[in-house]
């Protein structure tokens, strides 16, 4: 039996063992399952946000992009880190103080039911898109580890079964505790691979000589370009402010101060990963210039000593596991809390709501596996989906910092404006007057909120003294 297969099996067994241990803590009610009973410590918050961010896009996706443009691809993960730090400094504490379960609960306090329904729909769609990309990365990793056992599609199927199973069993406790193992594997594996493969090449001069001359491989700006880098930073800060899977981590903290510390620590600690993944993309280009870009990082790691190769590729797969589990959990939580309990069965007890959350995890997992079969580019697809969070960010910033200006009518129209703009951006090139959709999303959503608040002033949800 190949060494890599043994390591992969041991890793999967360890993940399911952690999940069964976590199951004891997650039973009883939906809050225990979806929010770890609001008992997460700062270190668990830290590894969970790192695990969510450092997934397929921040490892396989970054190396794939670096294979084409150079080290500047690492800015994607740096942008994630900056987003987590901003979330920790300004938003995590305020979210935790609200004592909510989903972002749409906050929306409902200030806006109409129409805004809640549209908000749930948009959040679930965003999460399903990102989950599907984890399957793509997971499939490429397993195919690279064991090409005689997994092709790309069977690798995705095995990834999906593992992701869904772990989340189904233990919920947030499972995602958080398994991330302790995942993050250790990710950091040790990628760092070891970087050092060993660079030693094989010999020096930076040898690496530069082996790369094509027409690409700024070693520039941290020119390959991707300042416009794209800025777009990544703006988009991922926006995402951290309002994506359900991210704020759900902060809501699971034992108190507001813990949520803040966990996010700031997580943002700081995830900074090096993107640079290392990008550097390995350069190494892959030098060693395997004709390789498929999406398989660049797995292929360069396969060339390591068998045990180290197995551990490192398991670490990359761990990055997918950690991201997908949080996303599947948040998609299930949104449907069970904001659709099923709110509109379909308001009288349901905690046991039935927990059952519905688990059912939604399975359904979401199957749907995203089908979507993954038709998506090719990891970073391109993920940035399109994430830009829709601008509408949510506008709404929650007003709700948390300026509640006296909150307008019930504005929530629905802001979300609708963001959704319509995203569709137009994809279908009508003439609309693309900015270098990235995220800038136009912010402008349109701010304008939509302001206009709705002016046109419908009688529908403000929060009364202000003296008004």
pLDDT, residue 463, reads: 41
Q: Which portions of the chain are predicted below pLDDT 50?
A: 460-467
pLDDT, residue 350, reads: 85
pLDDT, residue 75, reads: 96
| CA–CA dist 55, 62 (Å, integer) | 10
pLDDT, residue 461, reads: 44
Q: 407 phi and psi, to 5 degrees? A: -120, 130
Joined together, the tokens standing for residue 430 give 């003439």
| Domains of the chain and any CATH numbers | 3-376 (1.20.1730.10), 387-467 (no CATH)
* Of the candidates 19, 378, 302, 55, the residue with the CA atom closest to the CA atom of residue 175: 19
| CA–CA dist 14, 19 (Å, integer) | 9
Joined together, the tokens standing for residue 140 give 């490429």
Say if CB 281 and CB 66 are below 8 A apart: yes
Count the helix, strand and coil residues of the chain and give each as a percent rounded to the nearest 5: 80, 0, 15
pLDDT, residue 377, reads: 55
Joined together, the tokens standing for residue 193 give 């691979």
pLDDT, residue 381, reads: 62
| CA–CA dist 28, 6 (Å, integer) | 35
**What pTM value is reported for the model?**
0.88
Say if CB 103 and CB 242 are below 8 A apart: yes
pLDDT, residue 293, reads: 76
pLDDT, residue 306, reads: 83
Say if CB 280 and CB 193 are below 8 A apart: yes
Residue/partner pairs of 439-444 with CB below 8 Å, 24 or more apart: 439/231, 439/234, 441/387, 441/388, 441/390, 441/391, 442/234, 442/238, 442/390, 442/394, 444/417, 444/418
| CA–CA dist 115, 108 (Å, integer) | 7
């Amino acid at each position: 039996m190949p060494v890599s297969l043994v390591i992969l099996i041991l890793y999967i067994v360890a993940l399911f063992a952690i999940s069964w241990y976590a199951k004891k803590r997650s039973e009883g009610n939906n809050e225990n399952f979806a929010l770890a009973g609001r008992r997460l410590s700062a270190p668990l918050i830290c590894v969970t946000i790192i695990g969510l961010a450092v997934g397929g896009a921040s490892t396989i996706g970054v190396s794939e992009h670096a294979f084409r443009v150079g080290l500047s691809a690492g800015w994607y993960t740096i942008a994630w880190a900056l987003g987590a730090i901003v979330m920790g400094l300004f938003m995590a504490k305020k979210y935790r103080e609200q004592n909510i379960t989903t972002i749409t609960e906050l929306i409902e306090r200030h806006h109409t039911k129409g805004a809640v329904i549209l908000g749930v729909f948009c959040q679930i769609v965003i999460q399903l898109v990102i989950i599907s990309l984890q399957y793509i990365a997971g499939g490429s990793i397993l195919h690279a580890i064991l090409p005689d056992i997994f092709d790309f599609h069977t690798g995705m199927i095995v990834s999906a079964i593992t992701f869904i199973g772990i989340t189904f069993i233990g919920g947030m406790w499972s995602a958080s505790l398994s991330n302790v193992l995942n993050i250790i594997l990710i950091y040790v594996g990628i760092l070891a691979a970087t050092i060993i493969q660079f030693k094989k090449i010999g020096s930076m001069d040898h690496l530069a000589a082996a790369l094509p001359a027409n690409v700024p491989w070693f520039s941290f700006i020119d390959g991707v370009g300042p416009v794209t880098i800025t777009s990544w930073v703006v988009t991922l800060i926006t995402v951290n402010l309002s994506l359900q899977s991210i704020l759900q981590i902060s809501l699971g903290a034992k108190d507001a101060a813990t949520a803040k510390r966990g996010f700031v620590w997580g943002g700081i600690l995830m900074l090096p990963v993107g640079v290392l993944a990008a550097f390995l993309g350069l190494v892959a280009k030098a060693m395997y210039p004709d390789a498929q870009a999406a398989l660049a990082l797995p292929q360069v790691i396969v060339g390591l000593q068998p045990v180290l190769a197995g551990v490192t590729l398991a670490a990359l797969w761990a990055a997918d596991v950690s991201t997908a589990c949080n996303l599947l959990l948040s998609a299930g939580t949104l449907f069970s809390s904001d659709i099923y309990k709110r509109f379909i069965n308001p009288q349901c007890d905690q046991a039935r709501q927990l059952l519905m959350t688990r059912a939604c995890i399975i359904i979401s997992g199957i749907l995203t596996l089908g979507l993954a079969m038709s998506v090719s580019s990891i970073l391109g697809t993920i940035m399109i989906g994430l830009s829709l969070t601008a509408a949510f960010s506008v709404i929650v910033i007003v709700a948390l910092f300026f509640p006296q200006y909150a307008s019930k009518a504005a929530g629905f129209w802001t979300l609708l404006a963001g959704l319509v703009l995203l569709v137009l951006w994809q279908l009508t090139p003439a609309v693309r007057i900015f270098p990235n959709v995220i800038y136009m999303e912010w402008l349109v959503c701010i304008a939509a909120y302001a206009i709705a608040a002016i046109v419908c002033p009688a529908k403000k949800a929060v009364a202000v003294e003296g008004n």
